[in-house]
């Protein structure tokens, strides 16, 4: 489908769930953190202590309604992409359009 075009010559990690916006640990990763990738067992492991992750999670959740929200980027987003984003589910739910989000 072209999402990983050119990425097939080496390791490619396409979806990580739960996503940061859902409170997933991926949102706690910081520059310099080590991540172990286990290809045979299809796993990845953030090499940060549970205590450090707990401290990061607490700091993130202290942000209140801004927790788990990415930094805003000034950019033009087409109507089609905004419409898709409003209906799309996260990767752990299939990354598909959920028509029930339309209401009514």
**pLDDT digit string (tens) for 69-100?**
877 788 898 999 888 888 988 877 888 889 89
Q: Where are the domains of the chain?
A: 20-68+76-102
Q: Which of 5, 49, 78, 100 is catalytic?
A: 5
**pLDDT digit string (tens) for 44-72?**
899 999 999 999 999 999 998 888 887 77
Annotation says 90 is catalytic: no
With vertex at residue 76, the alpha carbon angle to CA 86 and CA 83, rounded to the nearest 5 degrees, is 20
CA distance 47 to 98: 35
CA distance 47 to 53: 10
> What pLDDT does 1 receive?
40
């Amino acid at each position: 489908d072209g999402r990983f075009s050119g990425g097939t010559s080496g390791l490619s990690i396409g979806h990580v769930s739960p996503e940061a916006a859902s409170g997933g640990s991926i949102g706690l990763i910081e520059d310099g953190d080590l991540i172990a990738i286990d290809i045979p067992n299809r796993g990845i492991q953030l090499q940060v202590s549970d205590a450090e992750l707990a401290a990061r999670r607490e700091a993130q959740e202290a942000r209140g309604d801004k927790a788990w929200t990415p930094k805003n980027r000034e950019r033009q987003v087409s109507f089609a992409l905004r419409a898709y984003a409003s209906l799309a589910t996260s990767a752990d739910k299939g990354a598909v359009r959920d028509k029930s989000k339309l209401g009514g």
